Chain A
Amino acid sequence: MKRWTKYIGTRLFYMALTLFIITSATFFLMNALPGTPYNNQDRLTQVQLDMLNKKYGFDQPLMQRYVNYLGNVLHGDFGVSLQFSDQPVATLLGQRIGPSIQLGLQAVAFGTVIGVFLGVIAAMHQNRALDVFCSLFAITGRSVPNFVVAVLLQFIFAVTLKWLPIGLWDEGFRSTILPTLALSISPMAESCRFIRTEMVEVLSSDYIELARAKGMSEIRIAFTHGLRNGLIPLITVLGPMTVSLMTGSLVVENIFAIPGIGEQFTKSILSNDYYTIMAVTILFSALLVSVIFLTDILYQIIDPRVRIEGAK
């Protein structure tokens, strides 16, 4: 138990350090971008510019602003958005992160479960019809952009069949189905391809042969001994995939008119909305390092060989 505490403590320290470095790097890079947050800059007089800069504190030296910003962040103050009439950034993101995270998690969960299943089936029928079918599906899923899938889904299920809403975020779970499907194509294809490769190797290993000699059925072998071993490497890929989906897809969110965070991020960069850029970056990085941390913990639960020394 003590080892675990120490392990987690060390990891948390490094996570904080990583976030600090990312925050600092982004802060200085962002300030090196040309332009200002004011969209009608050309028509402002120098006096007006000075007033605005003073109001937002941009008149201070960069180093001073950096220290101030870090201090504020540590106190939970992420500043105000410059493009949305001085709305606090935290509130702004708080309203928009929910749908993105929900869609992302649903898409990853649905996509991987189906993808893993298809991958296992493909590996069990290596080089036969079912395998070719699954591989074809995976390649198609990888190659077709998700916005094409999104529009197709809208056309079939919303326009033609009228089963589901075509967009917006006002019908609870029903609103999430089509965007989730559209987003899940990529994790589905990815995990199908990945699991197939892993499983082909696992299924030819000696312990699978021993399981056969025990008298187990092929299906049971694949889903107990096979999958457990084949899944381990997938966890590594799955973490970052989850984060990238959780942090929203600009295009899919636009197509379904979902108030998500993906759109926000792009807009904030284009308009030099300093505090929003910083907040979104910190949020994404925090999610990513947490997911990597969770992945490592998960590894130790699934794979007994990587358990930390002495931990029981």
Chain B
Amino acid sequence: MEPILQVNHLSVSFDTYAGKVEAVRDISFNLQPGETLALVGESGCGKSVTCRTIMRLLARNANIDQGSVLFRGDDLLKKSNREMRAIRGGKIAMIFQDPMTSLDPTMQIGRQIAEAVTLHSRVSRRDAKKRAVQLLHQVGIENPEKRYRQYPHEFSGGQRQRIVIAIALAANPDILIADEPTTALDVTMQAQILDLIKEIQKATGTSVIFITHDLGVVANVADRVAVMYAGRIIEIGTADEVFYDPRHPYTWGLLASMPTLATDSETLYAIPGTPPTLIHPAPGDAFAPRNAYALEADRIADPPLFPVSATHLAATWLLDPRAPQVQPPESIRLRAEEYRQKQSAKGASL
């Protein structure tokens, strides 16, 4: 199938007083129609910048140094501001992290939704309102006619995020970018919002790019996962491949630091060290200084993405045929083992 979105060799940097920050460094990925791709990584790894570049919502000090973002074959980076406005909200919509601050406090929430409707289709005021009420109903706000007239402060955090989702859905977008949509919510709300996004995706067939640093969330929603570190994608594959057959030591670290029901130790694992600065990044693998499995090669040259399977790529020299054979940590091996048993049990029961 033709991908709906192709990001090719994208590099983005920011001019700051301290120097040029290379926030995104030569990343490429595709998004298929109807699929959910999760961008995972710790704060500052470039996942949000990537999405803002797709939306062309970067701050004024940002430079797109190279690459292209093809939406249905058209390069979004070459579009005029006017063309971009039709795409933003119309074809590609975005949900933000903090629902408490992403709605205009002085405007009725219904009008904020209706506004998004009228921006992308020629409809009468009354029809826009009707559509807004219907959207409120769709995202699970009860009593939508009455609540249309209410202001953001009259809603809870979870409800506000539903309203933000309603705004994003106003023009039936082809791609929904969710930038940590559940980070600011409590756990029960998180589950509800994730269910809502999945439900919507089922009903409308929209593709979703899901940015998060929460691997639990990823496991719940993603078809494919791209793990980012220091502005690069270091591992990308189907959710099963990344979760149960990870190849990059950083992914191992991330997974090991996620508690599971089987975790019985008192202390949680944490990846040692801190992410590197992206002002003049040093040559070699950016993760090498924190990597217990680092090879000499990691300090000299940045590893390319080695194919593991047709859908699975990982950027680590460990996958080079010349590299020594390294066993992943025990908890990762256990995961893979457990998974294989589950799969074979499933196969047997069929």
- Contact yes or no, B96 A214, CB < 8 A: no
- Contact yes or no, A209 B120, CB < 8 A: no
- Contact yes or no, A207 B85, CB < 8 A: no
Within B86-134, which residues are at the interface with A (CB < 8 Å)? Answer: 86-90, 93-94, 96, 98, 101-107, 115-116, 119-120
Smallest CB gap from B100: residue in A: A206
Smallest CB gap from A225: residue in B: B104
B211 close to chain A: CB less than 8 A: no
What B residues does A94 contact at CB under 8 A? Answer: none
Smallest CB gap from B98: residue in A: A206
Interface string of A191-222 (1 = CB under 8 A from B): 00000000000000111011111111100000
Q: How far is the CA of A270 from the CA of B226 in the complex (A)?
A: 81
B167 close to chain A: CB less than 8 A: yes
Q: How far is the CA of A98 from the CA of B347 in the complex (A)?
A: 92
- Contact yes or no, A210 B164, CB < 8 A: yes
- Contact yes or no, B90 A209, CB < 8 A: no
Smallest CB gap from B170: residue in A: A214
- Report whether over half of chain A's contact residues are helix, strand or loop; otherwise say mixed: helix
- Contact yes or no, B103 A210, CB < 8 A: yes
Question: What is the distance, in angstroms, from B100's C-beta to the closest C-beta of chain A?
Answer: 9
Binds B, one of A66-74, A115-123, A182-190, A301-309: A301-309
Partner of B85, one of A210, A216, A228, A232: A216
Given the known interface contacts A228-B107, A305-B151, the answer about A215 and B119 at a Cβ–Cβ threshold of 8 Å is: yes
B300 close to chain A: CB less than 8 A: no
What A residues does B168 contact at CB under 8 A? Answer: 213
Partner of A304, one of B86, B102, B106, B170: B106
Smallest CB gap from B153: residue in A: A305
Range for the number of chain A residues in contact with chain B: 20 to 34
- Contact yes or no, B94 A213, CB < 8 A: yes
What B residues does A216 contact at CB under 8 A? Answer: 85, 89, 115, 119
A236 close to chain B: CB less than 8 A: no
Partner of B96, one of A210, A228, A232, A304: A210
Question: What is the distance, in angstroms, from B226's C-beta to the closest C-beta of chain A?
Answer: 22
- Contact yes or no, A215 B96, CB < 8 A: no
Chain B CB within 10 Å, residue with most, of A207, A217, A302: A207
Q: How far is the CA of A228 from the CA of B103 in the complex (A)?
A: 13
What B residues does A228 contact at CB under 8 A? Answer: 104, 106-107
Q: How far is the CA of A209 from the CA of B119 in the complex (A)?
A: 16
Q: What are some 24 contacts across the A-B interface (CB < 8 A)?
A: A205-B101, A206-B102, A207-B101, A207-B104, A207-B105, A209-B57, A211-B104, A213-B89, A213-B96, A214-B88, A214-B115, A215-B87, A215-B89, A216-B119, A225-B107, A228-B104, A229-B104, A229-B105, A229-B106, A232-B106, A302-B106, A303-B106, A304-B105, A304-B153
Give me 9 other A-B pairs in contact (C-beta within 8 A), A213-B96, A214-B119, A225-B107 excluded.
A206-B98, A206-B101, A210-B167, A213-B55, A213-B94, A214-B167, A215-B89, A305-B151, A305-B153
Chain A positions near chain B (C-beta within 8 angstroms): 205-207, 209-217, 225, 228-229, 232, 302-305
